[in-house]
Amino acid sequence: MRNTVSTTPNRRHFLKTTGFALAGATCLPELLAAEGAPRPRVVIQDVAIGRGVAIKASDGTTGTFAGSPSQDLKALEKHLPQIRQLLIDRDPLDTTLCGELLWEAVYPGKARLYAEGRDPLTGESIANKPRHARHTATGQIFMAFSTVDIALWDLRAKLGRQPAYRVIGQADRKRLAVYWRPGEADKGLDDARHRAREAYDRGYRHQKWYFTKSAKDGEVGLKENIELARVLREELPEALLMFDNHSIRSYDDVDYSVRLCRAVTQYKPFWIEEPVCPEHVDGYARIKGETGVTIAGGEHWYTRWPVKAFLDRKCVDYVQSDPIWCGGISEWLAVCNLVRQYPGVKMVPHITSPWLVAPHCVASQAEALCPLLEFNYEGGRTILEDHMSKSPDGQMLMAMPDEPGVS
């Protein structure tokens, strides 16, 4: 039997000390009622962690989210009693129930260390240093908190019988412009040219290709990257071409990235993504200052706390925080609120499996803030391609699903 001892005083103290205002807590019942979805009076009844997270309401509705293969659910599971204490018997439509509420209870004040260029859980200095793997051990823990937060949003949307994007924000965008991401030019430049042309003619005007050579590949590798940009621009003079430093993001060779970015500016890239490793704010600033290239970055930033340093240095133009990786939909919205304070900067979230969270996030916000959705053609094709269709002017768009929840 579940422990029924009241935890309200503890919750109240926690919310007060971490900056959540109980009196002004944002709730969704008015929004859902306004959209014609009568709201039953329910509370959270249970929280379970298995392969993902399931949050059950007292009326039987369950919000679920499996999350990313990279997350550390085992680290989260040991805190399940504390998570239950914070969520059970609470109104699921209260948006102060979020990933931040949970990690601040477990690791109070730690996430903010990202803003100082330090790892929140080890205290290690990480600013301007390369990673040894795509994700850090600490980052994988924050990803796991994302799973709880997204399950809460799934529950809210199901309770309101709405697709999640209509509950997350008010933009209610039915169709989204997408950029096509085919991955590497791993079958040669002629094949890349052919694939790029074929996709463009289908309506994929925005395309993102990978640079796969880094400083360790020397001059030959540098020329291969530049030649990819040249060939694609020659084939598609009107396309909006992005380039992702896919194999460079683990390195801190700023000199190499400056040379590469400077060399490809003549091919008018829409953006260069992650020009150097994720925490290298000095590198981003130098690359931006010396080349003037448009820079996208942020898919490997966890929580909102690392973002401000890059915005203050004016060295990122498109922030790519991933709701599945950054701490959840709530934390992604917090990053949006931060980005709004920097004129000209936009949000285009990275997309990852299970593919449908980023579309709901983009569709919830105004196009002026979130102009594009990433279409991962390598991994997300099976889930997303059936939603794609051409606009009257020939541009490929994604139609948002109507099913309740994050689906």
pLDDT score for 11: 39
pLDDT band (50, 70, 90) for residue 29? low
pLDDT score for 147: 97
CATH superfamily assigned to domain 8-161: Enolase-like, N-terminal domain (3.30.390.10)
Higher pLDDT pick, 4 / 183 = 183
Q: What's the length of the chain?
A: 407
Residues 6 or more apart whose Cβ sits within 8 Å of residue 37: 160, 161, 162
pLDDT tens by residue, 335-385: 999 999 999 999 999 999 999 999 999 999 999 999 999 999 988 999 999
Average pLDDT, the chain: 91
Which residue carries 């380039």 as its tokens?
A: 243
pLDDT tens by residue, 267-314: 999 999 999 999 999 999 999 999 999 999 999 999 999 999 999 999
Top CATH class, 167-399:
alpha beta
CA-CA-CA-CA torsion sign (200, 202, 204, 210): negative
Its pTM stands at 0.92
pLDDT tens by residue, 119-158: 999 999 999 999 888 999 999 999 999 999 999 999 999 9
pLDDT band (50, 70, 90) for residue 41? confident
Query: Where are the domains positioned within the chain?
Result: 8-161, 167-399
